[in-house]
Amino acid sequence: MQLHYLVREPKVILDKNPVLILLHGYGSNEEDLFSFANELPEEYYVISVRAPYDLQPYGHAWYAIYFDADENKFSDDEQAKTSRDTIANFIDSICEKYPIDSTNVTLIGFSQGAILSYATALSYPEKVNRVVALSGYLNEKVIKEDFQTKDINSLKFFISHGSVDQVIPVDWARKAKPFLENLGLEVAYKEYPVGHGVAPQNFFDFKNWLEK
């Protein structure tokens, strides 16, 4: 599965540059998060990816979300796993295509993109070393079952959520920190008094975290 994407080249050229891969939320597209590409640190490639499943009348998704007769919402976990593996292959292909440092790959995901960022990083820790999970949650069902047999020790996470998020409850987001810390991983967790979106302070905080 080929993924469509946008690229901002680094303004500071190194032998090999680090990369930030932006994964948008359900119903959005690659231009959404790319709108703040120029605010991100200058030594990075910034690559914003379009999710593979088309929605009607417009927009894209990493996996389908269904509602049953009682309006319970549930996710297509098999599609999510397919997207997880597609993202892992995408990381390999862009590291071949561009002079990217394959040991310095950061996933920045919003909402459904954050759920996929957790899943991809924990399933393929050899391909990712940092995750910025914005307004998402960690869904254990879409992580590879054998992930704890892999060397995940170098993974670092920045997690943020709006305390009044009406799309993904903040309680869901809060579970990621203890889950990851129990694995011995480094986690920064922040909440902001906003809904389902990225507050300016949130952007500033994760940018600072990246620069450290």
Q: What is the pLDDT of residue 188?
A: 98
CA dihedral 200, 118, 63, 69 (to 10 degrees): -90
| pLDDT at residue 71 greater than cutoff 70 | no
Question: What whole-number distance in Å separates Cα of residue 207 and Cα of residue 212?
Answer: 9
Q: Place 66 in a pLDDT band, splitting at 50, 70 and 90.
A: confident
Distance CA 51, CA 55 (A): 10
User: What is the b/e burial string over 119-138, where b = at least 16 CB atoms within 10 angstroms of the residue's CB?
Assistant: bbbbbbbebbbbbbbbbbbb
Please, how many CA atoms are within 13 Å of residue 184, restricted to the half-sphere of its CB?
5
What pLDDT is stored for residue 69 in this prediction?
73
> What mean pLDDT comes out for the span 62-69?
84
Q: Residue 137: CA atoms inside 13 Å, Cβ hemisphere, count?
A: 16
111 φψ region: left (φ > 0), alpha (ψ -120 to 50), beta (else): left
Q: Are strands 65-67 and 73-75 parallel, antiparallel or unpaired?
A: antiparallel
CA dihedral (177, 178, 182, 186) positive or negative: positive
Tell me, rounded to whole angstroms, the distance of Cα 172 from its chain centroid. 16
Provide the whole-model pTM.
Answer: 0.96
Query: What tens digit of pLDDT does each residue of 165-176 get?
Result: 999 999 999 999
The one-letter amino acid at 174: R
Q: Which domains does the chain have, with CATH numbers?
A: 7-211 (3.40.50.1820)
- With bands split at pLDDT 50, 70 and 90, how would you rate the model's confidence at 1? confident
Residues 6+ apart with CB under 8 A from 132: 106, 107, 108, 109, 117, 157, 158, 160, 206, 209, 210
